[in-house]
Amino acid sequence: MSIGRRLRWTIVSITGVVILIGSAGLAITKAPRPEPTSDWTSPVQRTSPDGTMSLTADVVEGNIRLQIRDGTRDTTYTDQTGISGQVGWNVEWMSNSRIRLIHEIVGELYWERLPGGTWRFVPKAIV
């Protein structure tokens, strides 16, 4: 095989591998999840998976505020996050004890319920 043919075969092979790896990467990054939404003007309301709690996320003084209420509608947790609500964002229950906020600029943030019922912000490194 001539040097020109080997070089051509090598380039074609490398290109094929790069395309394959890129395609696999796209498949991995397309996992379903709620996307940030630009409709920040109305509160986002979600019920916990077991239906015992409700989560309301709205924009107060330009920042996202989270409120969790129990079955009797008493507020059990409030967090004025300091995160801008002026760009796309969304919030979801991941389980009865974990909430995820997806923000266009900040990325993903998490809150979890501790065994005693207290809620706390969880750095992504711990999740």
What are the tens digits of pLDDT across the range 26-82? 445 454 555 555 554 568 899 999 999 999 999 999 999 999 999 888 899 999 999
- How far is CA 69 from its chain centroid? 21
Q: pTM here?
A: 0.65
Return all residues near 94 (Cβ < 8 A) that are at least 6 apart.
100, 110
| Cα-based angle 103, 122, 98 (whole degrees, multiple of 5) | 80
69 token code pair? 């209420």
pLDDT of 31 = 47
Q: What are the extents of the domains in the chain?
A: 1-31, 44-122
